[in-house]
Amino acid sequence: MAHADRDLAGAGLGVAAVGLLSKLVSAGTTPEADTRSWDNLPLFLTFAALQVPPGEHEISVDFLDSSNRLMPHLSKRLAVSVPAGEKEKVIYVSDKSLTPQKQ
């Protein structure tokens, strides 16, 4: 019985030490909101999945305003090469880009 009491006391001392260490670490930190931002993220994202055969393709990307009217000054025209045997090809187009990124 004395052996069990000694083990229990040791466990209690260990828990108290961890609690004290936790309080010391907490006291050394200052909670603040993470105010970092990423200013060039788009407000909206739209995705389209198309099935096209391998080869060269001309693609048009048109942007619409909040009333679904075409914004011709933002329209993008690009040539896309789809190699044979590839399952996917991803193209990123931004309304802010002069030349869309291709991957």
The answer as to whether 74 is a domain residue is: yes
Look at residue 1 and tell me whether its pLDDT is greater than 70. Answer: no
Residue 97 belongs to domain spanning: 55-102
DSSP for 45-75 reads ---------SEEEEEEE--B-TTS-B-GGG-
Dihedral sign for Cα atoms in the order 43, 49, 50, 54: positive
In the predicted model, what is the mean pLDDT of the chain?
Answer: 79
Please give the structure tokens belonging to residue 61: 């990307």
The answer as to whether 34 is a domain residue is: no
pTM check: above 0.75: no
pLDDT value for 80: 86
pLDDT digits (tens, 9 = 90+) for 2-48: 666 677 777 777 888 888 888 877 777 777 777 777 777 777 778 88
The answer as to whether 66 is a domain residue is: yes
